Amino acid sequence: MLNAQTTQQVHRRHHVKKDGRDLFLYSHAPHTLAPTNDLDPVAKPEPHMRWHALRREWVAYATNRQNRTYKPPPEYCPLCPVKPGAYPGEIPFETFDVAVFENRFPSFHLDAATAPALPIETKPGVGRCEVVIYSPDHVGSLATIAQDRRELLIHAWADRLTDLLGRPEIDFVLPFENRGEAVGATLHHPHGQIYALGFRPPIIETQAASFRDDPVLDRLRDQIGDRYDIVTGSTMAAFVPPFARFPFEIWVSPFAHHAGPWSLSSAEVSDLAAVLGEVVATYDALFDQPMPYFMHLMAAPKGEEETFQFHFQFLPLQRSADKLKYLAAMEQGTGVFLADVAPEEMVDRLRDARPNR
């Protein structure tokens, strides 16, 4: 059903929520359950952006997010399945496999139409924000969900990227995960997000320009071989970049060129799912506790498909069992990172921690 090739049938069910937001359910068998209790509508958001003249970049404002759900107890988790008569939630079904829905408190919105008239340049915050639920279980991670669930998640990412990049208002789409309270996660259910933007942020433009000039990841692979590998699969590898900025940073990249996950073969989907699970399992074993991290799925911005190489970036914040990496004044003010752990040490310690080595 979906674009990425797979040996298993992948089904997508589109459900429109009570307030008009989209909900997509992904499964290997058709999802046919009747809906249960849905959340009541909230006021339509009107995000906008303001131009930062000194940094030459847009700053996004979404005041509706001040009232978003904040660390609810498990029995009121809005990301869990909802049984008939129970407290309403975002996925109004008794169970599901993988779910994606429009964010109730978005930073960007496709229908954003107004921006305040100010002495500086402003414009509506056009875009779309979605939430990706990895599992119906309230506790879990990319390491603990089953292999077929991770494969389903990859197909869901591919489907949403294809859909959103196909919209004329959208230029770039970023699936990501904020894992752990240390990085600002306010819901504990295993999930990620997707931001679709109507503009290209400076960091993404820099990456796109780098790929236009040179096949950066292919050249890097030629230079370092498997010296920095943590997991080497048959079609892709997870490795510490030798210029890592974050402690125990890992990238995952396929050996073949792909602009995004939508063109992966079934073998590559399976390999990627296994590698992602091993990366997170290794992180959690490193200090014998869940690792807080940012994860970015970097797919090509619109028009960069021929040169941009799809890959994942895992950026952890834990530099030791009891110490976090904070971005201090020097780093915030200049963008120059001060690394506490050498990449070569990261490789040795991550390899030693890997549970399935």
DSSP 8-class letter at 247? T
pLDDT computed for residue 1 by the predictor: 38
Fold of the domain built from segment(s) 11-353 = HIT family, subunit A (3.30.428)
Mean pLDDT of 5-20: 86
Handedness of CA 45, 101, 314, 349 (dihedral sign): positive
Torsion of Cα atoms, 347 then 284 then 244 then 331, to 10°: -140
- Categorize the per-residue pLDDT at 2 as very low, low, confident or very high, splitting at 50, 70 and 90: very low
* Confidence bin at 186 (pLDDT 50/70/90): confident
Distance, in Å, from the CA atom of 82 to the CA atom of 78, rounded to the nearest integer, reads 9
Mean pLDDT, all residues of the chain: 95
User: Residues 349-353: what's their mean pLDDT?
Assistant: 97
- How large a percentage of the chain has pLDDT more than 90? 89
Residue 257 is a catalytic residue: no
* Options 11, 191, 258, 311, the catalytic residue: 191
**What pLDDT, on the 0 to 100 scale, is given for residue 210?**
98
Q: Which two tokens stand for residue 104?
A: 């109730």
Number of other CB atoms surrounding residue 117 within 10 Å: 6
CA 275 and chain centroid, separation? 16
The stretch 136-163 carries a mean pLDDT of 97
234 contacts: CB under 8 Å, gap ≥ 6: 267, 271
pLDDT over 70 (residue 6):
no
Closest C-alpha to 27, from 113, 126, 153? 153
Residue 184 confidence (pLDDT): 87
User: Distance between CA atoms of 323 and 320, rounded to whole angstroms?
Assistant: 5
pLDDT at 301: 98
Domain boundaries of the chain, sorted by first residue: 11-353
- Full 3-state SS string of 178-198: EECHHHCCCCCCCEEEEEEEC
Q: Residue 276 and residue 270: Cα distance in Å, rounded?
A: 10
What residue ranges in 240-302 does DSSP mark as E strands?
250-254, 293-298
44: confidence class by pLDDT, cuts 50, 70, 90: confident
What mean pLDDT comes out for the span 199-227?
96
Lowest pLDDT segment from 35-44, 197-206, 296-305: 35-44
The DSSP symbol for 201 reads -
Query: Is the pLDDT reported for residue 62 higher than 90?
Result: yes
- The pLDDT of 219-242, averaged and rounded, is 97
* Pairwise CA distance, residues 18 & 38, whole Å: 7
Q: Give 90's pLDDT tier (boundaries 50, 70, 90).
A: very high
- Residue position matching structure tokens 């014998």: 288
Q: Which range among 112-116, 228-232, 312-316, 348-352 shows the weakest confidence by mean pLDDT?
A: 112-116
Of 254, 289, 280, the residue nearest 181 (C-alpha):
289
The pLDDT value given to residue 67: 79
Per-residue pLDDT tens digits for 320-335 = 999 999 989 999 999 9
Q: How many CA atoms lie within 13 A of 174 on its CB side?
A: 17
Cα separation, 213 vs 192, whole angstroms: 31
Place of tokens 């959103």: 164
Average pLDDT of the residues in 169-189: 94
Q: For 99-118, what is the mean pLDDT?
A: 95
pLDDT (0 to 100) of residue 7: 56
Cα 199–chain centre separation? 18
Mean pLDDT of 265-283: 98
Spatial CA neighbour of 263 closest among 305, 322, 316, 215: 305
